[in-house]
Amino acid sequence: MIKGYAGRVLEIDLAKKSYSFEPLDEEIARLYIGGKGYGTRLLYDRTEAGIDPLGPLNPLIFATGPLNGSVAPQSNRFAVVCKSPLTGGIGNATCGGNFAYGMKRAGIDIIFISNQSERPIRIEVNGDLGEVVFLDAADLWGKGTYETQEILGKKKAHAVIGPAGENQVLYAGIVSNERIAGRTGVGAVMGSKRLKAISVMGTRKLEMDDPAAFKKYTKEIREMFKAHPVLGSSLKRYGTAGIVNTTNGRGMLPTKNFQRGHFDEAMTISGEYMEDHELVGVKSSCIHCPVTCGRDVEVDGKRVKGPEYETVALLGSNLEIGDLKKVSEWNFLADDLGMDTISLGGTLSFAMELQERGMFDAGVSFGDPEGISQLIRDIGHRHGVGNELADGSKKMSERLGGHDFAMHVKGLELSAYDPRGSFAQGVEYATTNRGGCHVQGASMYLESIGPLTINPQNLKLKADIPVLMQNTACAINSMVLCIFTTYGMFPEAIHNLDPNSLKYRMMSKAIENSGPIMRMAMEMKGKPMLWFEKWLTYITGETFSSGHLQEIGGRIFNLERMYNLREGLTAKDDTLPPRILNESIYEHMKAGHPLGELLPRYYKLRGWNVEGVPNPDTLDRLQVRV
Partner 1 sequence: MSIRVELTYDMSKVLGLQHFEIESAATVREVVEQTETRFEGGEEFAKLARLAAIAVNGVLINHRKGMKTRLRDGDRVGFVKASAGG
Question: What residue ranges bind partner 1 (CB under 8 A)?
Answer: 230, 234-235, 240-252, 261-262, 267, 270, 272-273, 293, 308-310, 421, 438-439, 442, 445, 448-457, 483-484, 487, 495-496, 498-500, 504-505, 508, 585-588
Residue 508 or 543: which CB sits closer to partner 1? 508
Nearer to partner 1 (CB atom), residue 198 or residue 454: 454
CA distance 328 to 271: 12
Distances (CA, A) of 168 to 111, 163, 190, 345, 496: 21, 8, 8, 18, 48
Please report how close the Cβ of residue 473 comes to partner 1 at its closest, in angstroms. 12
Q: Name which of 85 and 261 has its Cβ closer to partner 1.
A: 261
Contacts of 221 (CB under 8 A, 6+ apart): 72, 73, 531
Q: What is the closest distance, in whole angstroms, from the C-beta atom of residue 327 to partner 1 in the complex? A: 15
Q: Which helix (H) or strand (E) holds 616?
A: helix 616-621
C-beta neighbour count of 150 within 10 angstroms = 11
In the complex, least distance from residue 505 CB atom to partner 1, rounded to whole angstroms? 6
State how far the Cα of 162 lies from the Cα of 148, in Å rounded to an integer: 8
Q: What is the DSSP string of 496-508?
A: TS-TTSHHHHHHH
Q: CB 415 → partner 1: shortest distance, Å?
A: 9
Tell me the HSE value of 187 on the side-chain side, using a 13 A CA sphere. Answer: 36
Shorter beta-carbon distance to partner 1: residue 102 or 450:
450
Nearest approach, Cβ of 311 to partner 1 (angstroms)? 11
Name the minimum Å distance from CB 341 to partner 1: 12
Strands 195-201 and 121-126, how do they pair?
parallel
Nearest approach, Cβ of 450 to partner 1 (angstroms)? 6
Residues 168 and 190: their CA atoms lie apart, in Å, by: 8
- What is the C-alpha to C-alpha distance for residues 444 and 620, in angstroms, rounded to an integer? 31
Closer residue to partner 1, CB minimum distance, 203 or 496? 496
Residue 407 CB-density burial (10 A; 0-12 exposed, 13-18 middle, 19+ buried)? buried
Phi, psi dihedral angles at 5 (to 5 degrees) = -105, 150
Nearer to partner 1 (CB atom), residue 316 or residue 421:
421
Helix (H/G/I), strand (E/B), else coil: 608: strand
DSSP labels, 119-137? S-EEEEEETTTTEEEEEE-
Contact predicate 59/42, CB 8 Å: yes
Among residues 324 and 624, whose Cβ is nearest to partner 1?
324
- Nearer residue to partner 1 within complex by CB, 306 or 456: 456
Cα 538 from Cα 225, distance rounded (Å): 19
**What is the Rg, in whole angstroms, of the alpha carbon atoms belonging to the chain?**
22
Min dist CB 451 to partner 1, Å, is 4
Nearest residue (CB) to partner 1, 216 versus 277: 277
CB of 343 to partner 1, least distance (A): 16
Compute φ and ψ for 93, nearest 5 degrees.
-160, 150
Distance of alpha carbon 594 from alpha carbon 370, whole angstroms: 38
Closer residue to partner 1 in complex, CB, 251/363: 251
Give the number of residues written for the chain. 626
How far apart are CB 484 and partner 1 at their closest, in Å? 6
**Residue 293 or residue 619: which is nearer to partner 1 going by CB?**
293
**For residue 305, what are the β-bridge partners?**
296
Across-strand partners of 10?
Answer: 21, 111
What is the closest distance, in whole angstroms, from the C-beta atom of residue 254 to partner 1 in the complex? 13
